[in-house]
Structure 1
Amino acid sequence: MYKIAITIALFLTTMLQAQTTYESGMTKAFTLWEDGKMAEASNVFERIASAEKENWLPSYYAAQVLILDGFSILKEKEALDAQLKKAQVFVDAAASRSKDNAEIMVLQALLHTVYVASDGATYGMTLSGKINALYTKANQLTPGNPRVMLSKAEWDMGSARFFGQDTQPFCAQIEKSLQLFANFKPETAFDPNWGEDRAKQLTAACKAE
Structure 2
Amino acid sequence: MKKLLINLVFSSLSFIGYSDEAYQKAMTQSIEKLFQATTIPEYVEIANQFERISNIEKTEWLPLYYASYAYIMISFQEPENAKKDQYLDQAQKYLDQAMAIEPNESELHMLQGFLYPSRITIDPMNRGMELMPEMNKSLDKALELNPDNPRVYFLRATMMFHMPEAYGGGAANALPLYQAADEKFRIFKPKTELSPSWGKEINDAEFKKVQEVMQK
* Same structural fold, with TM-score higher than 0.5 when normalized by the shorter chain: yes
User: Could you tell me which of 44, 47, 55 is aligned with 1:50?
Assistant: 55
State the alpha-carbon separation in 2 of the partners of residues 182 and 173 from structure 1.
14
Q: Among residues 166, 170, 195, which one is paired with 1:191 in the alignment?
A: 195
Residues 162 and 87 of structure 1: CA distance in aligned 2, closer, same or farther (over 3 Å): farther
Q: Runs of at least 4 residues of structure 1 off by over 6 A?
A: none
Alignment match, 1:28: 29
- Aligned positions, number: 208
Relative to structure 1, the CA distance from residue 8 to residue 67 in structure 2 (aligned partners, 3 Å threshold; closer, same or farther) is: same
Identity of aligned residues (%): 26
- When the two structures are superposed, what TM-score results if normalisation uses the length of structure 1? 0.92
Cα 1:111/1:162, change in 2 over 3 Å: farther
Distance 1:102 1:153, change over 3 A: same
Query: Aligned partners of 1:30, 1:161: CA distance in 2, in Å?
Result: 37
State the 1:51 CA deviation. 0.7
Query: Which range moved further: 106-115 or 173-182?
Result: 173-182
Kindly indicate whether residue 180 of structure 2 is the aligned counterpart of residue 179 of structure 1. Answer: no
1:112 to partner: Cα distance: 0.9
CA-to-partner distance for each residue in 1:22-65, whole Å, 9 max, x for gaps?
Answer: 12321332243214310000000011011111100000000001
State which drifts further: 193-202 or 18-27. 18-27
The one of 152, 155, 164 aligned to 1:151: 155
Match of 1:65 in 2: 70
- Segments of structure 2 that go 5 or more residues without pairing to the other structure are none
Q: CA deviation at 1:137?
A: 1.7
Aligned residue runs from structure 1 range 1-209, under 5 A: 1-33=2-34, 34-36=36-38, 37-73=42-78, 75-161=79-165, 163=167, 165-209=169-213
The one-letter code sitting in structure 1 at the alignment partner of 2:66 is Y
Provide the aligned C-alpha RMSD in A. 1.7
Alpha carbons of structure 1 residues 202 and 54: separation in structure 2 relative to 1, 3 Å: same
CA distance, structure 2, for counterparts of residue 106 and residue 6 of structure 1: 46
Three-state SS of the structure 2 residue aligned to 1:62 is helix
Query: How far apart are 1:110 and its partner, in Å?
Result: 1.1
TM, length-normalised to structure 2:
0.89
Letter in 2 for 1:96: A
